[in-house]
Structure 1
């Protein structure tokens, strides 16, 4: 009777040592790893593999950005390629005959090694929204405009980040663009407001389960809210729809918000959260500082934080801000804030206004008050805390100001 032969991850190495080797492989090489063998494919696609990468501190921070092509090249669409392959090659590329200059890409920035890539394989609708669901390792792209007709679409695209494949999700019940959107819970994405094909502002709202691939209608909001901003702050998984405007008041942003409570299946209006009627709330962001979720906004050359108890926006003490950053804020009409985890915040100004030099990572570091820190990029605020500004370089084709962005540690 023969002995059972168990396949080894790497022949000649103990499996625990072989696993240590695989955990160190960058995420960009995972499509190749899955081609080596069935064992490697199942290993590097399993949820525990990504958990172990995080525990061993080999996981990489990725920022996903929906950006216009910049500078605008001839309208191109990449045919099917592997998830993280560069899409600049002429191989498998064809022109779109009836196109539009409003073509957007889904790009990814790896903050660990400052690597930029364009994710090939699908055509991204113009002004679509992207949301990451870390618990199920999926990225969802929703709605926006058809780049040829400029009409709102109901299209949903789901990227499985564990295996690197795209699929068409169940379409949104309501085609919409410029809507509020946020993730809540392990697999739920909320959408609300925006406008339809006739530019009518919407009150309707819906919830998508990315695992079940099903939509559920929510009760309508009390007010129409075009160009509103969506966020989820609390463990109760409530969905906030900030400001927006109605069909008859285009461009005049409301001062209030509506909050959806999934337990009671009801909306509640909260007044006094947005005192800037001429400013779009979409340039705000929820960031994590000292383990707490904060709502930040760059306004008039200053980062402000919303104080929920007092319902006021107050400046954040960052100490001395580098001249290059203040020049960015003075030259750019808008600055995008993106939480990239590990106490870091990515700031990106409008690339056209700042020559592509307007990208920084702001990192909060606790330091010894007795330490003499002469690093000019490190600026002391209150309580022995330093804010470090790191300039980020990017190729010109990634200069486009992001319409939507999300982050995942994987």
Structure 2
């Protein structure tokens, strides 16, 4: 098959490929089948993370001056910001009491799922492939059922899947549904899942250890868990009062509540308070959270400049306390965030 680089041992050639910038991948992939195969292999990106040379970014769908007009990409390594090409079906209804949007990063694709307000036929999907240096978004397969407002979604990044459940069947908030679906990013295909056991409203979703968690109204008595191995739902007692958002970090489900960070142990159906925030107001202004390099990244609403960013260092690394580390916002990153996803490649 020859060497990765003529005259160099393959282990040295691999070290060269590992250190390429993400923006160069689309030029490198066509060189030969071996290079393309390496860049397609998930182990390649795992090794970049292990060597601490991965590129870490936050992708945010933003409103600027009340209009949803861009996807901002915050490069954490370079502390810089740029905008991706416009999404073809961006709508003024986004995040303004109308359309609902969800961002996920799966198989090196940024995936946007928007509800039926953006399209007259089905809830729609748009994908942006960071590996190919694409100049535009491509449209994915439409959801089997129209969903509007409040549906939950979560990504199984290892499996390349996005799970969706619940929501409402029309725009009146009077017809909640128990429907659930899963989207295969690489195959661009939806599969229908069994219905949830109960109707929940105003959903949040998370995925960890083969399970899709669906949380409804924070004052509701229960939440549901879909086991991807048995393809069945289980109703559990709600242990996440006053929650703001959920993330999968350190191998477990974590809830960012109004007061602090909570860890959930599914096997024991038990919650553990990892740490508390300085004040209740601090938690109330949380807009989104994600994970890069095993650190939780939080975006907080800033009424003047859009949002502030913090990293939550776990107590295991800080001597038993939850440490909040703020970082400087780069110029050009203003506006209100509708939804966000983190990538670590």
* Shared fold per TM-score greater than 0.5: yes
Quick one: which of 216, 230, 255 aligns to 2:221? 255
Unaligned stretches of 5+ residues in structure 1: 73-100, 245-251, 368-379
Structure-2 residue corresponding to 1:191:
164
Q: Distance in 2 between matches of 1:30 and 1:267?
A: 40
Q: Distance in 1 between matches of 2:9 and 2:195?
A: 58
Per the TM alignment, residue 138 of structure 1 is displaced from its structure 2 partner at its CA by: 3.0
Quick one: which of 166, 181, 201 aligns to 2:153? 181
2:171 is paired with a residue whose SS is coil
Deviations 1:10-57 (A, max 9, x none): x8877765654443232234445568x568983774436545534543
Q: Distance in 1 between matches of 2:316 and 2:171?
A: 52
Go from structure 1 to structure 2 and tell me whether the alpha carbon gap of 1:215 and 1:365 turns closer, same or farther (over 3 Å shift): same
8 Å CA contact 2:101, 2:112 repeated in 1:
yes
8 Å CA contact 2:49, 2:293 repeated in 1:
no
Q: Distance in 2 between matches of 1:268 and 1:331?
A: 33
5 Å matches for 1:11-410?
17=12, 19-31=14-26, 42=36, 45-47=39-41, 49-65=44-60, 67-72=61-66, 101=67, 103=68, 105-120=70-85, 122-123=87-88, 125=90, 126=94, 127-133=100-106, 136-144=107-115, 146=117, 153-165=122-134, 166-177=137-148, 178-184=150-156, 186-199=159-172, 200-234=175-209, 237-244=210-217, 253-276=219-242, 281=243, 283-288=244-249, 291-300=250-259, 302-306=260-264, 315-317=273-275, 330=281, 333-351=284-302, 353-356=303-306, 358-364=308-314, 381-382=319-320, 387=323, 389-403=325-339, 405-410=340-345
Go from structure 1 to structure 2 and tell me whether the alpha carbon gap of 1:315 and 1:354 turns closer, same or farther (over 3 Å shift): farther
1:42 is paired with a residue whose SS is helix
Deviations 1:67-97 (A, max 9, x none): 322234xxxxxxxxxxxxxxxxxxxxxxxxx
Per the TM alignment, residue 59 of structure 1 is displaced from its structure 2 partner at its CA by: 1.5
Unaligned stretches of 5+ residues in structure 2: 95-99
Q: Distance in 2 between matches of 1:210 and 1:357?
A: 30
Q: Which has the higher strand share?
A: 2
TM-score, normalised relative to structure 1: 0.67
1:330 is paired with a residue whose SS is helix
Deviations 1:248-299 (A, max 9, x none): xxxx8423111222333322211232434xxxx4x212242xx332412141
2:326 is paired with a residue whose SS is strand
Q: CA RMSD in A?
A: 3.7
Q: Distance in 1 between matches of 2:4 and 2:268?
A: 60
Moved more, 213-222 or 55-64: 55-64
TM-score, normalised relative to structure 2: 0.78
